[in-house]
């Protein structure tokens, strides 16, 4: 049996040191360490809790330690963060247990001297943290929100500028809330009412999504999603409601030739397949062969038979030439900063830097620019990114349209009615966690007019 708190600290240390994503490292740990359900819940609470509230916890540590967090050994800092998170946020764990287990972990991992430091900081925190005066969000807006809501200050400055102070605070609060699990019903095998009836005894708070006609949200499943019978039988895929909108906007028709560029693990590929009723041809492209292998397995589970996978690079002219002018519709789920999905992946807060936004913009434009030649005349491209930032949104599309006068933003009156709450006067689709209770996404539908 592995100590859950020690594993959580080990996980956070690994996340800090390696280039893992949160999801990939979680998968690695889950395969390596089998925890009982209750301990797994604690592990997830500690990991996600510390990642959500890290800079706020560090601000508290700064008040009670002579050594600032940035000069503290990472392993010691993560022990303090986990101890503090339990003291402040987990009411069911006795304060004495949170302190004592943290001190013991420190003693066995970083030594007796450091364990004394951990003990002193945590015990002082227990005595005094409730009387702390946190930075005022009115007097020092960006810094105050950054500390109180636990976000990098550069993100807060952007959101205050884009949305205003109050909406920026609302956005932070929505991101910091634990999101529901959202899935998309596979209409090739069942329907939404039947799926809800099938899994409602295995979940809590189950309900149909507000906008996507194929979505279902719930919390606290009794077992792993992958172990649910409805999942094994291909009844659904896990997919946030905002991501479900991409295929609906694409509106693929049975019999067409469609490409899912940057297909990844195939969440949108599966949706495209079911909308096409398994009629026509879907080419799923990704440079990662392992992802494409897993995509193929998932299509088999879903009963989708019209998908062909191909590993390739959209920067390779030879690869592109082989597909020139072949597709009626193309979905580009472009690699991005993922700033729209921080509520599900809070590690993004601490790994992303602002200068990376222009890096992503250049790559997104390159993909869109190169992929345009693969579309038939009068064909449709849907550009999708799970980002709220203008560099990755309008700026990419406007730059593309300047270079490609044979493309235009499609008439918003042609969009399905479900897009009415999200479409702006320019014909772009935007979703936000604080406004729509879904991930932050940007979608644009482009039509080739020649």
- 184-227 per-position pLDDT tens digit: 999 999 999 999 999 999 999 999 999 999 999 999 999 999 99
- Cβ neighbors of 387 (< 8 A, separation 6 or more) are 336, 337, 338, 339, 340, 360, 393, 440, 441, 442
Nearest to 361 by CA among 344, 341, 380, 383: 383
411 among annotated binding-site residues: no
Active-site amino acid positions: 386
Q: Where are the alpha helices (DSSP H) in 251-344?
A: 267-275, 289-302, 317-321
Pick from 313, 354, 360: nearest CA to 336: 360
Task: Say if residue 313 carries a ligand binding annotation.
Answer: yes
What structural domains does the chain harbor? 4-131 (1.10.940.10), 141-176 (no CATH), 181-238 (3.30.70.1170), 245-448 (3.40.50.150)
At residue 134, the 3 state secondary structure works out as: coil
Token code pair at residue 422: 């999200």
**Is 288 annotated as contributing to ligand binding?**
no
**pLDDT surpassing 80 at residue 259:** yes
The per-residue pLDDT for 311 is 95
Instruction: Tell me the pLDDT tens digit for each residue of 83-125.
Output: 999 999 998 899 999 999 999 999 998 888 889 999 999 999 9
Give the model's pLDDT for residue 2.
60
Give the per-residue pLDDT at 450.
Answer: 81
Classify residue 169 by burial, with Cβ atoms within 10 Å: 0-12, 13-18, 19+.
buried
Grade residue 1 by pLDDT with cuts at 50, 70 and 90.
very low
Per-residue pLDDT, averaged over 287-296, amounts to 96
- Of 10-24, 70-84, 342-356, 382-396, the one with minimum mean pLDDT is 10-24
């Amino acid at each position: 049996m592995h100590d859950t708190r020690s594993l959580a600290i080990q996980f956070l240390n690994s996340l800090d040191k390696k280039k893992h994503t949160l999801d990939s490292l979680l998968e690695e740990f889950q395969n390596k360490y089998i925890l009982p359900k209750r301990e797994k819940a604690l592990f997830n609470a500690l990991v996600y809790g510390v990642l959500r509230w890290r800079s706020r916890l560090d601000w508290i540590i700064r008040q009670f330690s002579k050594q600032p967090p940035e000069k503290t050994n990472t392993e010691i800092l993560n022990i303090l963060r986990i101890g503090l998170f339990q003291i402040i946020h987990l009411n069911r764990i006795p304060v004495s247990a949170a302190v004592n287990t943290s001190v013991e972990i420190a003693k066995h991992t970083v030594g007796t001297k450091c364990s004394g430091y951990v003990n002193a900081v945590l015990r002082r925190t227990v005595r005094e943290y409730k009387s702390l005066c946190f930075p005022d969000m009115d007097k020092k807006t960006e810094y105050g929100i950054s500390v109180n809501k636990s976000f990098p200050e550069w993100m807060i400055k952007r959101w205050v500028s884009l949305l205003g102070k109050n909406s920026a605070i609302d956005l932070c609060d929505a991101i910091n809330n634990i999101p529901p699990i959202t899935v998309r019903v596979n209409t090739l095998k069942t329907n939404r009412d039947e799926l809800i009836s099938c899994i409602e005894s295995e979940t809590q708070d189950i309900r149909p999504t507000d906008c996507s006609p194929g979505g279902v949200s719930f919390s606290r499943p009794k077992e792993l999603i992958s172990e649910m019978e409805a999942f094994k039988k291909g009844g659904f895929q896990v997919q946030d409601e905002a991501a479900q909108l991409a295929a609906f906007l694409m509106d693929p028709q049975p019999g067409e030739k469609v490409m899912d560029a940057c297909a990844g693990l195939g969440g949108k590929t599966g949706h495209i397949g079911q909308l096409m009723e398994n009629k026509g041809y879907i080419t799923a492209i990704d440079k990662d062969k392992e992802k494409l292998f897993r995509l193929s397995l998932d299509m088999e589970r879903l009963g989708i038979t019209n998908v062909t996978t191909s590993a390739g690079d959209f920067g390779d002219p030879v690869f592109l030439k082989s597909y020139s002018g072949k597709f009626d519709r193309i979905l580009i789920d472009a690699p991005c900063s993922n700033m729209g999905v921080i509520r599900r992946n809070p590690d993004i807060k601490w790994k992303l830097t602002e200068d990376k936004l222009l890096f992503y913009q250049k790559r997104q434009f390159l993909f869109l620019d190169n992929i345009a030649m693969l579309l038939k005349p009068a064909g449709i491209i849907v550009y999708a990114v799970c980002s709220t930032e203008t560099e990755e949104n309008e700026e990419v599309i406007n730059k593309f349209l300047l270079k490609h006068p044979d493309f235009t933003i499609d008439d918003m009156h042609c969009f399905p009615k479900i897009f009415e709450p999200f479409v702006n006067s320019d014909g772009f689709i935007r979703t936000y966690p604080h406004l729509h209770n879904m991930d932050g996404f940007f979608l644009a539908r482009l039509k080739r007019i020649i």
